[in-house]
Amino acid sequence: MKDLVVALYDGVVLLDVAGPVQMLHGSGGYRIRHASVDGRPVRTDVGVPLGADLALGELDGPIGTLLVPGYAPLDGDRPGEAFLNVLRDLGGRAHRVASVCTGALLLAEAGLLDGRRATTHWAACAELESRFPRVTVEPDAIFVRDGPVVTSAGVTAGIDLALALVEEDHGPDLARAVAKYMVVFLQRPGGQSQFSVRGAVPTVRHPALRRLLDAITAEPAAEHTLAAMAARVTVSERHLTRLFRREIGLTPGQYVEQIRVEAAQALLETTADGVASIARRCGLGSDETMRRTFLKVLRITPTAYRRRFRTSHLPTTPTTPTTPTTPMTPMTPKETA
């Protein structure tokens, strides 16, 4: 029986707690305790109260696994300094530390991610990277293991994390049995870039570059070669590349590619148009080119993406592409066979 402590605080995301705990409890292989700073119940982000078995400070001796769930990434209440102080102490005594969603930022604040690779909810990756430069952020990962620390992406990724812990502690057969019973993937296909909401790039300050980005978004299938874009804003190709890297963190080609992919995502989600037609309308050329690009950027094929995210009632007539005003957060390209 493995020891696992869930660290609770007011504002904790309910599913960040319930998802992993359900998986771990279902395996039958863990002694699970819930602990808050003062040992009293906490109120989750949706108002549901959660009871605590004990205070975090009452935990003595070594801890098997310390699980730190997250807070709502955009406007949720964060725990105070008292929680972080206890987290620093417990993190140093735990055999393994794991976080769900923005719990990674709490680990980082406690100094537990210094010099390590980590991930978090896609909407908080930029914050994690900018606030904690000693952390190497992997924005597309569902979960990342670096030594005794495991971090996972947003919300339901805590389920993936829990299954990985079960597999590590008790073997793949038990993890597979739990996944089947709970009707979830043992290892979900693709990374979290396929879930990223459009518009996650920082505000661009350069006015000419803003106009260019708007033009690319308005017509993703138009000619957007480096030479054409540089001529449009009357700067050299080299200077334009520097502007993109400084303001967006992407090359011009990467930006155009991601805008086209997101335009294609929107059409796959909301229309019944064929892949070849969507590829042409979004500037991705042929269906095969679109397939290769999706695998590189999203680690999933267009057909699989449509099955996963399309609306239940698709229109029967072509619609105008709904495209973003800015691209998704840059992702680390990963080829998938």
The residues annotated as belonging to the active site are: 101
Burial tier of 266 (Cβ tally within 10 Å: 0-12, 13-18, 19+):
buried
- CB neighbours of 121 closer than 8 A, spacing ≥ 6? 70, 73, 101, 102, 153, 154, 155
Q: Minimal CA–CA distance to 158: which of 116, 113, 102?
A: 102
Q: C-alpha 6: how far from its chain's center?
A: 21
Q: Minimal CA–CA distance to 259: which of 333, 310, 323, 184?
A: 323
Residues recorded for the chain: 337
Phi, psi (degrees; rounded to nearest 5) at 71:
-110, 165
Identify the three-state secondary structure at position 32. Answer: strand
Q: Minimal CA–CA distance to 150: which of 91, 192, 195, 93?
A: 91
Q: Please give the C-alpha separations between residue 30 and each of 5, 151, 165, in angstroms, as whole numbers.
A: 10, 19, 11
Angle between helical axes of 157-170 and 14-27 (0-180°, round to 10): 30
